[in-house]
Structure 1
Amino acid sequence: MKLLREIELKLTAGDDVGTACRSVGISDVTYYDWRKRFGGMGRSQLSEMKSLENETARLRKSLA
């Protein structure tokens, strides 16, 4: 989320997507993927999603 926000700030400052992504150390493909997955989420939604992913992984491990 922090990197997405940083890239968004660079984009509003006038940089293009490729330059903004390179400055934070990710590819533009990664940026678009993250924006698609996490674009409209707030902190609470992100933490809830992380906890659900952890629980799913724990359940899959116990099932196997």
Structure 2
Amino acid sequence: MKKKYSVEEILRILGEEKQGNKTIRNICRERNITEQTYYRWRNKYEGMELKEALRMKQLEEENRRLKQIITDQALDISILKEVNSKKW
């Protein structure tokens, strides 16, 4: 079962290592995440403040939405070209 962590939770988890009293392996075991997930989060969010990370998440969502719109429009254009190419 996957748990979806919020940006704030991810930053808090990443901050545990910086406190220096826990190893990455222990942090992952306590939070029930893989080390691969931890390193992926670290590559993505390292050095970011909460405000910056939230803004990045918002931009990623907007980008995903815009890509979907473009895909839908391309499909509509393709269908219209096919319909118009047929002789009635």
Q: Shorter-chain-normalised TM-score: which range?
A: 0.7 to 0.9
Q: Which runs of 5+ in 1 are unaligned?
A: none
Query: Alignment length, in residue pairs?
Result: 63
Q: Which runs of 5+ in 2 are unaligned?
A: 1-7, 72-88
1:29–1:58 Cα change, 3 Å:
same
| Percent identity over paired residues | 30
1:56–1:28 Cα change, 3 Å:
same
TM value normalised by structure 1: 0.76
TM value normalised by structure 2: 0.59
1:12 to 6, 20, 23: 20
Aligned residues: CA RMSD: 2.0
Equivalent runs, 1:1-64 vs 2, <5 Å: 1-6=8-13, 8-9=15-16, 12-13=20-21, 15-64=22-71
Contact (CA 8 Å) 2:14, 2:42: kept in 1 or not?
no
